[in-house]
Amino acid sequence: MLRVAALLALVATLTACDVFSTLTEGFKYAKAVESDLEQSTGMKPEVGFSWHNGRLEKVTVTFPRIYEARPLGEIAEVVRRSVSSQFKQTPEDIVLAFSLGKPTSGTAAELGETN
């Protein structure tokens, strides 16, 4: 019984170390993407990620405002290259987002049907 308990404790410790290692490495990769994209665009995005069973599932890159200096397709390719190179693997999905911020009074558009 003591051997089983010791074995379970060892397995739990090793599993926790792997999760911790993956998490810390992921944060390093995310910071590297943020830095890389800030140099490319002049805006520092926020980068989030999710791993599942050691596989990079999704990376989300959110810029603080709309980036108008280049066409959307170009910025998407810059983001794709940065994410793939910094995370050292291509995720299953990359989400590119732009924060619109709080609208100022009088500038909010109303959605409605047009006849």
pLDDT digits (tens, 9 = 90+) for 74-103: 999 999 999 999 998 899 999 999 999 887
Measured CA to CA, the distance from residue 40 to residue 46 in angstroms comes to 14
Domain boundaries, the chain: 18-98
Q: Indicate the average pLDDT of the chain.
A: 83
For residues 49 and 59, is the Cβ–Cβ distance under 8 A?
Answer: yes
In 3D space, the residue among 106, 101, 94, 20 whose CA is nearest the CA of residue 60 turns out to be: 94
The length of the chain in residues reads 115
**Pairing of β 93-98 and β 46-52:** unpaired
Which of residues 109 and 64 earns the better pLDDT score? 64
Phi/psi region, residue 101 (left: phi>0; alpha: psi -120 to 50; beta: rest), is: left
Choose which CATH entry (3.30.300.30, 2.40.160.20, 3.90.1570.10, 3.10.20.30) describes domain 18-98.
3.30.300.30
